[in-house]
Structures are given as structure tokens and as C-alpha cells.
A and B are shown apart, each in its own frame.
Chain A
Amino acid sequence: MLKKKPSRRWKRLGLLLVAGGMLSGNAGPAAAALQPLWLGLAPGSGLGPECCEVPEEFRATAGPPQDGDKAAGRPDAARANRGGGKPARFESEHRPLPVRAYFLQPSQLGADLTAFLQKADSTTMPAEITVEGGNQKISFRAAMGEGPMHGPNNLYVVASHVEGDTLVVRTAKWCTLHHNCGWGHDHKFDEGRLTARSCNLVPFEIVAHDLWDQNFHSRLMSGDELRLDVLFRNRPAAGATLRVVSEKGWVREVKTNADGRATVQMIRDSYPAAWSLFDRNEQGEVRIEARHAVEEAGTHKGRPYRRIEMVTTFPWRYYPARRDYMSLSHGLLVVTVTAAASGLALFLHRRHRSRPRREIVFDERS
């Protein structure tokens, strides 16, 4: 597939960051609490009590989409979570939509923001930033042939400014999987699409591996090892701080190794009070945040700085572990017992049969 050359705008962004003096540097002391930026399906959606207050119009509805939903302007993505009344934070990879929209949390009105989409074939296209009810909405056209395509598509928002003597870089990433069985499964062996990708236009990002299967369905489950790379200018960021927060607030903080990599085992944090309340399709959100700082001097838009502080985010979702509800031993037991019992019954039937056979037995060897 032909790769589009980065447009001038993206080149400018890259040059801007290079011109800003962001050459490789050493990890500095832990960064102060920089407020991270998150991308979500609805304003205020996300993890934790402080961001779970989803406005009524963004709450999920039970059952399939209704015609009235579109008329009411309800984001289709907000319906992706079945189960009625739960905050919608996950989108369906199956449902082709003309437009995909996400909200920046918290809004950065007036800030210097850039948003773009890296499509599944690694080409990029700009995303539109608009304001809706005081919330910043990042959207892009997603109709077949226009926007993102079959596979994982990464949406990025980059914000940078100089504060005192520090260049503050904040990035947010959202990966939207697109798959429809109707499009076929031609990409199931396409390593380029199956493998998580980074974007060289983004100064600081998290790359999480093995999040989806060959049919582009999310496959992360409780108990899985989450392999994470943190990249600074598309190169491993050694010593970066990674913070992983699960649905119920379990937090794990790790430092990346010399290869910019860290591994975190996803905890099982859902224990329904009764088994009848268990839902194998219930997804939990995992929020991944990385911070890094480098001592490095340069200028950004004419303003000098001596240090760079970065924070980047990446939300994903996880399912209950299969081993929580699937039993291989029971399956094997049923197969074995059925095969043995039916075999024995047949043997006994043949042994004790006194009625002569009516059919002619064909001698297969003759």
C-alpha cells in the first residue's frame, strides 16, 4: 500500500520539536505532577469517581442502536457498551460510523493543540478539533474509504508550551480498532497491522503490545502480561515512570528498563457478589500514563527552556480472564464420559442383540 508523505503541517510539527532542542537526553529527576490529557468517548468519562459522572445523554442504552439515537445526536460510540445505564467508555470495532468523535479531558481551550490520526497503514490524516458544550471534541471522518481503515488506528493529541524554564509536552493517544466481518479477514496475517505501532510525529508516547487478536478484537484480559514501551522521539525512553490504573483503582507504578520497556500483569479486580452477576463481556478500563523528564536546553516558539517534562496517556480495556469462566477439565470430562458411555452402550447392545440384522453387511475388504 502506498504510504502518504507527511503533510507540511506534520513536517512542521516535527521540525518544531527538533528546533525546540529536543535532542536525546538523560532521564532527569521525577517530573512534578503534570496534569495529563486523556481521550475518551464522552466528556468526563473515564476511570475513578471524579470522572465517572457521565451526562445522561452519553449513557449507554440496552439493546441495539435505535433510529432515534442518531436523530437525537447521541454519539453512536456511546452505545457500544451493552448492559444499559453503564457509562459508555468503549467503542465497538464492528460498527462502521461516518464520523468518530472523542473528547479531550480536561479541555485545553486556547491551548496550542495538534490532533491527527495515524491510520492502520501508517499514513496520517488531520483530525478536527471543535468545542461542544465547553468540551473539546476531536473528530475525524471514518466512512469506508475516507478515514481510518481495517485494523488499529491511532488518534493523537499533542500539546506543548514553555512554563518558566521548562518545556511541557503532553500527549494523549487513543487506539480505535476497526473491523467488520463483511470487509473480510484479509489482514489477519498482516504483521504491519497486527503489531502495535508508534508515530514518529509524536514526541512522547506509550506503545502497548498484544492488545488485539488477528480479527482486530480486543483480547487483553485480567491476568495477562501487559507489555509496554515508552518512546521519546520514537526511541526507547529509559527510566520513564509508568503508571497503570485498573478499573477498580488498583495502581501499579514501574520504571522502564534500558530498552524503554516495562511489563505489568493485569490484576483481576472484578469479584461479583453472585455468579449470576458475572458478565464475560464486561470490560474494565485500564489507564496507562507515562512521565519522563530530560535536562535539555532549547527554544520553543522563540521561548528558551532548559528542561523538558513530558506526560502521555493511553487508555485501553480488558475483559475477565477466560480461566475465570471456562473449564477445560469439565469439557474434557464431558467428552470422555460421553464417548465412553456411548461406546459401552453400543458394545453391550451389539453383544446382547438377539434380533437378526435386517441389513446386509457389506464386506469392505472384498
Chain B
Amino acid sequence: MKGLEKIRHRLDQGSVSWLRQWLQVAFFLLLVYGGALALNLGDRLPTFACVFNDARGGSCYLMGFQHQMAMPFAQLFSGRGIGVLIGLATFAGFFLLFNKAWCGFACPLGTLQDWITLVRRKLKIRYSSYGKNNFARLSKIKYVLLALLILLPMAMGNSIAGLPKLSHDFEVPFCMICPGRPLLPLFTGDLSQLAIDFSSKTKLVFTGLGMLVTGLFLTGSLVKRRFFCLFCPMSAFHYLFSKFALLRLVKDGARCTRCGNCYRACDVGIHAIADDIASRNMVKDDCMMCLKCIEACPEDGCLQARFLGLPVYTSTAAGFFRRAEMPDER
């Protein structure tokens, strides 16, 4: 047990950001190029492994989910619905293991934003953050997007409220506007998704919107850390299952001095991480579990990442000061 304590002590004094940046590179290579080595993690991944990238090593669940939502209700609520449930269960199974750390450690689009942030820091451009009210308002957009990515395909396969069915040009509506679609295939030299489809008005609007969002993504990521994560419907989807995940981020409010370090370190800019001293569960809907807040916390045992109830990374004063002395390589 002493050995275990020693390992934990060393871990708590180490930098999780260092580990994270290398894991991000590894996941990026796996999810963007893994297919070229015949690696395939499946089609139900709770992260943006873009289906439009032919060399992908796994696929984002949202694509298949949108397809499934386009089923006529008669099929959705029959035997075929079992397939949908199995897909959802597989997605949840992947997700429940690592909770929202999929966003912080594995998401290729998140990694891309972190790399753009590195460029910003090299260029010495000041970063932006949202005020509390704006943050709360913008944070709701992801739920709207999640609702649309379910409802639009449903309206394609079914007549809702007596309205005519939507055309098949509405298929995979979120993928059409997701910046991952044009950007991730670029890493394999595929520019084909960086185009506007003029075949129909619907396609024109969706692909045009997709390019617009991509442009905003590039600028936004340059001035705001993890700009897109605040609007990500996958993040909203995650939140439905987050409470049951094995990996958790917990806070002991009694030890919090509300110094605000955790909030300032948070890439997404979650105010509650500093303000909320009553809740134990600190995985909010916008959290990506990068664990930077634990790194930035100078209070012993105030913030903690726990897996299956066991602490895996804990904030410590010693760790905080040790990390403060480390050369900043992030």
C-alpha cells in the first residue's frame, strides 16, 4: 500500500497537462490516420472522429445516430429500434468509462483547437473569455443543436404534425455544419469537404453554413480557448450520461478558498468550478475534463479526479508549487 501511496503522491505532484498533450497527439493520430493501419475503434465513438475522413480509425457516433433518427417511427419502435438501442448502449459504454475526458484527451477537433491556441500564444495575441451572462446564454446553443440533429432527421423519415416530410437533403444536418467535416480530412490531404454543394437549395444552405462555421471556428479558436466546445452538441449528449460515468471530477467545498485559479485555468471558462462550493460533482455540461483545474488548485484535496471511487489525481499545495516551478511547455 505504501508503494501505491508513493505513486499517487508522485502523480499528484506531476503535470497532467504534459500527459494530456501527448495523449491528444496519440488519439489524433489514431482517429485521423488509424484507418490507414487498419485500426478501427468502431462507429459509436463519443468523440469527433470524422466519418468524412477516409483514413479515420473510428467514427463519431453522431453520424450514425442522425441516420438512425431518420427511420420511420414504425421501424424505430419495432425490431429495428433494438439496433438503435444497441448503438446507444455502445456509445454510452465508451463514454461511461472516461466521462467527458473524451473531449479533453481524445477529441481531434478539441486537439485542433488546442494547437490553434498554441499558435495564438506564439503570436502573443490576448485571449478572450465570456462574461458570466454571455457564457450562460451561449451554453444553451449546444442543446438547440442537439435537438435539431434529432428532429430534422426525424422529420425526414416521418410526417410530423401533418407536415410534409423533409427532403433527403436534410440528412446528417449537424455533420453538414460541423467544422470537423471540412477540417479533419485536410490532414489526409482531402480537400473535397471544403466545398459548397450547389445541387439543391437545402444543400447550398447547409454546406454554405458549414463553411461559415468553419471560418468562425478558425478565428474563434485563435482568440478563445476551446471556442467550439461551448456549442458542441456531442458535449450536450455526453451530459445526459455523465452522472453515471466511472471517471468523476469532485470538489470538497469546505477546502475551497474561492481563489479563482481553477476558473482562470479552465479552457472553456466554467465559472461554477470556482463559484460552486456546495456541489460535489464538478462535471458540468461544458466541462471537458482536461483536469487543468486540479493542477491549478493550491488546496490539498479540494479538487479530485476519481475513477470507480478511487482518487487518481488530487490537488495538493506541494503539487501546485512544484508545477509553478516547471517550465511551461503547454
Listed in ascending order, the chain A residues whose CB lies under 8 Å from chain B are: 63-64, 67, 82, 181-182, 184-186, 188-189, 214, 275, 278-281, 322, 325-328, 330-332, 334-339, 341-343, 346, 350, 358-362, 364-365
Q: Is the CB of A342 within 8 A of B215?
A: yes
* Sampled A-B contacts (7; CB under 8 Å): A185-B40, A326-B192, A327-B196, A331-B195, A331-B196, A338-B216, A339-B219
Whether B38 pairs with A189 at a CB distance below 8 angstroms is yes
Inter-chain CA distance A78–B38, complex, in Å, is: 36
One of B24-32, B147-155, B205-213 at the interface: B205-213
Contact B328 A327 (CB under 8 A): no
Does the CB pair A361–B126 fall under 8 Å?
A: yes
A185 to chain B, nearest CB (A): 6
B113: Cβ under 8 A from any A Cβ: no
Are A343 and B222 in touch, CB under 8 angstroms? Answer: yes
- B126, A326: Cβ atoms under 8 Å? no
Write the B108-136 contact mask toward A (1 if CB under 8 angstroms, else 0): 00000000000001000011110100000
Q: A326–B222 contact, CB under 8 A?
A: no
Known: A339-B219, A350-B126. 16 other contacts (CB 8 A): A67-B74, A181-B67, A184-B43, A189-B40, A214-B54, A280-B197, A280-B203, A325-B199, A327-B198, A334-B215, A335-B218, A338-B215, A342-B219, A359-B129, A361-B126, A364-B328
Taking a contact as CB atoms under 8 Å apart, the answer to whether A188 and B195 are in contact is no
Given A188-B40, A326-B197, A335-B64 contact (CB < 8 Å): no
| CA A212 to CA B212, docked complex, whole Å | 31
B216 neighbours in A (Cβ, 8 Å): 338-339, 342
Contacts of A359 in B (CB 8 A): 129, 131
Pairwise interchain contact A330-B182, C-beta atoms closer than 8 A: no
Contacts of A281 in B (CB 8 A): 168
Asked whether A335 and B194 contact (CB < 8 A) given A185-B40, A365-B328, the answer is: yes
Q: Are B219 and A280 in contact (CB under 8 A)?
A: no
Q: Is the CB of B35 within 8 A of A188?
A: yes
Docked complex Cα distance between A44 and B83 (Å): 37
Q: A189-B38, A335-B214 are in contact. Are A326 and B196 (CB under 8 A)?
A: yes
Chain A CB within 8 A of B20 CB: no
| Chain B CB within 10 Å, residue with most, of A82, A186, A325 | A325
Chain A residues with CB under 8 A of B127 = 364
Are B195 and A328 touching (Cβ within 8 A)?
yes
Contacts of B197 in A (CB 8 A): 280, 325-326
- A181 and B60 CA atoms in complex are apart in Å by 13
User: Contacts of B200 on A, CB cut-off 8 Å?
Assistant: 278, 280
Q: Is B312 an interface residue (CB 8 A)?
A: no
Closest-CB distance, A192 to chain B (whole angstroms): 13
B209-245 contact mask (Cβ, 8 Å, vs A): 1 or 0 = 0011011101110110000000000000000000000
Q: How close is B176's CB to chain A, nearest CB, in angstroms?
A: 12
Identify the closest chain A residue to B208 (Cβ). A334
Q: Is B304 an interface residue (CB 8 A)?
A: no
On whether the beta carbons of A337 and B195 are closer than 8 Å, the reply is: no
CA distance A82 to B291 in the complex (A): 50
Question: A186–B40 contact, CB under 8 A?
Answer: yes
Chain B residue nearest to A182 (CB atoms) is B83
Contacts of B214 in A (CB 8 A): 335, 338
Q: A280 to chain B: closest CB distance in Å? A: 4
Report if A334-B196 is in contact (Cβ < 8 Å); known contacts: A339-B215, A342-B219, A359-B131.
yes
A324 to chain B, nearest CB (A): 8
Q: How far is the CB of B211 from chain A (nearest CB, A)?
A: 4
Residues of chain B within 8 A of A330, CB atoms compared: 195-196, 198, 211
B161 CB, min distance to chain A CBs, angstroms: 18
B198 surroundings in chain A (CB, below 8 A): 275, 325-327, 330
| B179 (CB) vs chain A CBs: closest residue | A335
Q: Which chain A residue has the least Cβ–Cβ distance from B87?
A: A182
Question: Are A326 and B131 in contact, CB atoms less than 8 angstroms apart?
Answer: no
CA–CA, A184 to B90, complex, Å?
A: 12
Interface assignment of B284: CB less than 8 Å from any CB of chain A: no
**Nearest Cβ in chain B — how far from A146, in angstroms?**
17
Tell me which residues from 21 to 57 in chain B have a Cβ below 8 Å from any Cβ of chain A.
35, 38, 40, 42-43, 54
List of 4 A-B pairs having minimum Cβ-Cβ separation, nearest first? A338-B215, A362-B264, A334-B211, A280-B199
Q: How long is the Cα–Cα vector from A327 to B195 in the complex, in angstroms?
A: 5
Any A CB within 8 A of the CB of B157: yes
B316 interfacial by beta-carbon distance below 8 Å: no
Q: How far is the CA of A355 from the CA of B176 in the complex (A)?
A: 38
Beta-carbon contacts of B66-101 to A below 8 Å, as 1s and 0s? 010000101000000001000100000000000000
B87: chain A residues at CB < 8 Å are 182
- Indicate whether B277 reaches chain A with its CB closer than 8 angstroms: no
Answer whether residue B165 sits at the interface, using C-beta atoms and an 8 A cutoff.
Answer: yes
Contact among A341, A350, A360 with B264 in the assembled complex (CB-CB below 8 Å): A360
